[in-house]
Amino acid sequence: MKQDSITKESHIEWIGKIPNKWELKKVKFITKILYGNPLPEEKRKKGDIPVYGSNGIVGWHNESITNSETMIIGRKGSIGEINFSENPCFPIDTTFYVENTTTKHNLKWISYCLQCLNLTELNQDSAIPGLSREEIYNSKIPHSQENEKQIVDFLKKKLEEIDLGIEKNIELIKLLKEKRLVTIHQAVTKGLDPKITTKNSKMEWIGEVPTHWTIQKIAWAFYTIGGGTTPKSGEKKYYDGKIPWVNSGDLIDDRINIIENFITEKALEDYTGLKYHPKDTLIIAMYGASIGKLGILNFPCTTNQACCNLANSNKINYKFLFYWFLANRDNIISRAQGGGQPNISQDVIKNIRLFVPKNEEQKQISDYLDEEITKINEVIIKIECQIKQLKEFRQSTISYGVTGKWLIT
């Protein structure tokens, strides 16, 4: 039912027109926003009280600092992300929080309004970016006390439908990724002929392999196994040149077509560890956040020291090995050594043994996987686009609800 056919202009872009009887209020007149409390990581491991950080639950504690339903807002890290706890909780100092005791208004309604403010842009002027409470306080939102619950009820029903669609698509992507991995693993360990006779590989994590496949050691198969290095940072004479320089962060389990970093001829002269690696070199990240990530060079490049570069083999097709590494990444990473920063190391990679067919069959398997994985990836991309569209529709639905458009149209 329409509340009123008469509207007024808010003069705020994201709000537009609102019902004539509604007001524009600053957030500071709606609610008090509190800072979360510090809690060392070692104290987040026991208890039954959820500990909230900027992106959700980060542990458990035996005490709470809220007494009721709580809205948690990411202040540092995941800036502007909003989470809800229906029970007492412990928001830490990377968050702001609002609970029923700090406002007379509907908490869910406040959260919907805040989601329309584009909080990620309300940063405080600081060395470490963070959400500014003052900026939130001074932001205006449309308000009608009598319609708060009505808005929440309207949005709850609409958003449940949208969220269900998003969840189904996320689950579908998960299944497709599992199918992709199974397809790769089956092809690089069993081949393409389901009727082929097999033998025991004597490797528990591989199982049976085709009888005619032979064992190869990485160190035996590649003429070139090398790394790279990083020229001294801050030295302008070494950077922003014309020589491509791949970092482990550039590895995305695909061909490397675009990179951001380049070094100079002077760097190549001064650092013997810097060498050009040819097109089709297979790269694996040995440590750091990208450990186990893969890439194939589409043009000659140098690399940093976190990359192990495999090139020039007449025994193992680089594309076959790329897929083999993808299928067996977890096992390879499990061989990493070291505590704080586990390192696969070149020696670990050199000592990897795998069963492979002859080159012609390796190419057939690689070509088959190129085609099959491309098909799966294309479906995943389409579903990811659908998820993006659903999230955009979700956001526009929230805006539609909190500005009262559904009451006046």
- pLDDT, tens digit, 9 for 90 and up, residues 234-252: 899 999 999 999 999 999 9
Q: What is the pLDDT of residue 318?
A: 96
109-120 in b/e form (b: 16+ CB < 10 A) is bbbbbbbbbebe
Dist CA 209 CA 213 (whole Å): 7
Length of the chain (residues): 409
Q: What is the pTM of this model?
A: 0.85
Is it the case that residue 4 has pLDDT exceeding 90?
no
**Which uninterrupted H or E stretch holds 353?**
strand 353-356
Q: What are phi and psi of 59, to 5 degrees?
A: 165, -170
Q: Per-residue pLDDT tens for 323-358?
A: 999 999 999 999 888 767 789 999 999 999 999 999
Q: Per-residue pLDDT tens for 57-81?
A: 999 999 999 999 999 999 998 999 9
Is it the case that residue 124 has pLDDT exceeding 90?
no
Coil vs helix vs strand at 351: coil
**Which uninterrupted H or E stretch holds 8?**
strand 7-9
Domains of the chain by residue range = 23-143, 214-356
Q: What is the pLDDT of residue 126?
A: 62
Q: Are 23-143 and 214-356 in the same CATH fold? A: yes
Q: Which CATH superfamily is domain 23-143 in?
A: DNA methylase specificity domains (3.90.220.20)
Instruction: Assess contact for 89 and 52: CB atoms under 8 A.
Output: yes
Which whole number is the average pLDDT over 310-327?
96
Q: Per-residue pLDDT tens for 367-402?
A: 999 999 999 999 999 999 999 999 999 999 999 999
Q: What is the pLDDT of residue 209?
A: 92
Q: What is the mean pLDDT of the chain?
A: 93
Question: If you write DSSP's letter for every residue of 351-370 in order, what string do you get?
Answer: T-EEEE--HHHHHHHHHHHH
Dist CA 270 CA 308 (whole Å): 21
Q: What is the pLDDT of residue 346?
A: 94
Is it the case that residue 35 has pLDDT exceeding 80?
yes
Q: Per-residue pLDDT tens for 295-305?
A: 999 999 999 99
Name the residue type at position 407.
L
According to DSSP, the residues that pair with 294 across neighbouring strands are: 284
> Per-residue confidence at 1, pLDDT binned at 50, 70, 90?
very low
Q: Classify domain 214-356 by CATH number.
A: 3.90.220.20
> Per-residue confidence at 129, pLDDT binned at 50, 70, 90?
confident
